[in-house]
Structure 1
Amino acid sequence: LIKPTPPEPYDGSTDSQAFFRFMCEATSYVQEGQARRKHRVEKLSRYLQGQAYTFYVRQVAFNSSEWTLDAFFTLLFNFCFLTNYISKQCKRLKNLYQNSKTVKEYISKLIELYTIIGETAEQDKVNTLWFGL
């Protein structure tokens, strides 16, 4: 048996890569550790610091067993990131072109932005890729 690796702590900074790293690592940690669903969010609280821990204490701690991971990550994101953050990312996406980036780097950036923005039609993604090359 391999002991699950705990996530890197997340401090609530508006760094999308740090947030998504925490989200992925935290999800793997509680799933691989076979934490019961009602204890998963509470287990992750040990890896929250700063603004992220403030969110946990104010919004989650009193009924953490009722929180799903999806709801927790969504509201943590909304708490830590500015309300106009997603619209700024949409604007960045609109103005993103391959330019001097390799195709691989360009696609990676597109994936990052689409992950932040949320659900988008596949055809829109294809058009953005094609016309940004």
Structure 2
Amino acid sequence: MKYPSSYYARALAEVLATDNLSEEAQARICQRFLALLTRHGMRARAKKILREAERLLLARTGRRKVDIEFARTPQESADKLFGSFLKSSDVVTTRLNPALIAGVRLTINDTMRLDCSLKRKLQQMFPNASQYT
């Protein structure tokens, strides 16, 4: 019998949320968890399960996952640019996305999005322009 992906994610998040786990123990738990997914035929859904487990673990610890996409390489680090907005406990990932044309896009916990890119503004100004290209 296969269980829903959310069950696996919840189980992994609960185990990893326990205090006093060394990095070795966490690595061993993750290896065994992947072996369990393989045995249960859920390896194809591993990405979805791990993403959900990360979300649950961050929510349990009160931390935020912040993704920052830049159109070009920034002159300053993301910490300096968004220092007043970011907390020290936030998990921050930055990446380049030339499709934004100019500007920045912030995503918080995969739910809230602040899109200050030129691409979005052009799409708002000319909503039917994409069908002509």
TM-score range, shorter chain: under 0.3
Q: Give 1 or 2: higher strand fraction.
A: 2
- Which TM-score applies when normalising by structure 1? 0.27
Q: Give 1 or 2: higher helix fraction.
A: 1
In our comparison, the structure showing a higher alpha carbon Rg is 2
